[in-house]
Amino acid sequence: MPHTLVEKILLAHTDAADIAPGDIIMVRCDVVLANDISGPVAFRAMERMGARRVFDPQKVVMVADHFTPAKDAMSAALLRSLEEWCESQGVTFYGQGRGGIEHTLLCEEGWVVPGTVIAGGDSHTCTYGALGAFGTGLGSTDIAFCLAFGEFWQVVPGTIQVVFEGTRPPFITGKDLILAVIAHIGVAGGTNHVLEFVGAGAESLSIDERLAVSNMAVEAGAETGLFPADATTAAYLQGRTTRPWVAERSDPHAQFAQRVRIALDALSPLVAAPHSPGNVIPVEDARGVRIDQVYIGNCANGTLTDLRQAAEVLRGRRVHPRVRAIIVPATSSIYRQALREGLIDVFLEAGAIVSPPTCGACFGGHMGVLAAGERAVTTTNRNFRGRMGSPEAEVYLANAWVAASAAVAGEIVHPAEFLAEVRA
């Protein structure tokens, strides 16, 4: 019987003889992940279950990234409790100054390889689909069960195959591709499904840009967003991991719930206007919207690719006097490479703030939250009311070229107003 890519991954991690969309199965975990918000809730629930030890310390990783650096005594205590629990359990812990934002970090550190299953206490665990893995976000109670028993229940999802066709014009990034998908199918269009990204346009994307695409699959309601592993994947993993993996893809006659085609040639840079990731418009339609803050970073758009794009705009220019520009490298490694390339100097000379790796402002915690009446352009993944601070603030989602251009102009503009020509 032919199977889709996600069915192949799940079939290899369950005891069922065969599976089909809609089946409920128990799925074995290759990695269980939580952070400084979901982790303490999960391990306390695990203790209430009567479980004293994790199922396999080699398969559990905790990352402090949401309240790092700690913003107050309460968050400092939360971080300390997570670190102490990790030490007592013998599991891997990435703390302040030793890691970064969880989803970028785990790929960088070789925890994720094609065909694996990652259960994460964070909704953007779908990011790991960029490497051909089934990453899914679970609630803290389910993560507690994973910590204790190494498995979780899962409804087998159907597959929506997304075909990226054509060649990207200038200023079109992975961010624009996933916004185009969400605009096409809607914020609930992927519910009970995974998105599988294929076609020449998908294959042309770097891993950094695949991360940006997979990261927002959940904003379409999908379980995850999968790229079949290929030579680009193999090159990225070289030297990062010794974990075995095999490149898989959907069988030729596998059944898809839907096939969506996105013509890249016709795309302009896209913006998701308040207050939904599905409220997608071309950047030209948002031109002139005055902004107060620009935020470049997050679990999939704080990569070197994003930082280089921002630097192209900011080099030799200044951030508008009434705009705060905050740049957040996603990991310590990315931060160091940006230093070596002189990108940090570019940002500082332009008048931007460079933050240590953190999820802080993205979820409205700290390090750049918005006041009532303020408006921001960000490379983050959600712009719900109150997401980054006051419920009376407004957040526009965009790629790094658009965000950096807004920082200079003080309003949303097309990047071509600053850069005559760039490579996609």
pLDDT in tens, 194-213: 999 999 999 999 999 999 99
Q: Give the domain range for residue 56.
A: 5-262
Structure tokens at 49: 């279950």
In a domain, 308, yes or no: yes
Q: What is the pLDDT of residue 72?
A: 94
In a domain, 423, yes or no: no
In a domain, 368, yes or no: yes
pLDDT for residue 420 is more than 90: no
Mean pLDDT of the chain: 96
Query: C-alpha angle with apex 112: 107 to 118, nearest 5 degrees?
Result: 115
Q: What is the mean pLDDT of residues 338-349?
A: 98
Q: Whole-model pTM?
A: 0.96
Residue ending a domain, among 238, 262, 286, is: 262
Q: What is the pLDDT of residue 294?
A: 98
Are residues 282 and 230 part of one domain?
A: no
Q: What is the pLDDT of residue 391?
A: 96
Are residues 167 and 80 part of one domain?
A: yes
- Burial zone of 397 (CB within 10 Å; 0-12 exposed, 13-18 middle, 19+ buried): buried
Q: What is the pLDDT of residue 421?
A: 53
pLDDT for residue 116 is more than 50: yes
The bridge status of strand 24-28 relative to strand 151-155 is antiparallel
Are residues 409 and 360 part of one domain?
A: yes
Are residues 191 and 57 part of one domain?
A: yes
Residue ending a domain, among 262, 295, 327, is: 262
Are residues 294 and 211 part of one domain?
A: no
The rounded radius of gyration (Å) of the Cα atoms in the chain is 21
Are residues 310 and 280 part of one domain?
A: yes
The bridge status of strand 280-282 relative to strand 270-272 is antiparallel
Q: What is the mean pLDDT of residues 137-161?
A: 97
In a domain, 422, yes or no: no
Are residues 185 and 100 part of one domain?
A: yes
Are residues 381 and 289 part of one domain?
A: yes
| CATH code for the domain in which residue 58 is found | 3.30.499.10
Percent of the chain past pLDDT 70, that is, above it, reads 99
Residue ending a domain, among 262, 287, 319, is: 262
Domain tally, the chain: 2
Q: What is the pLDDT of residue 423?
A: 45
Are residues 254 and 276 part of one domain?
A: no
Are residues 318 and 243 part of one domain?
A: no
Q: Is the peptide bond before 228 cis (omega within 30 degrees of 0)?
A: no
pLDDT for residue 422 is more than 80: no
The bridge status of strand 394-397 relative to strand 375-378 is parallel
pLDDT for residue 21 is more than 80: yes
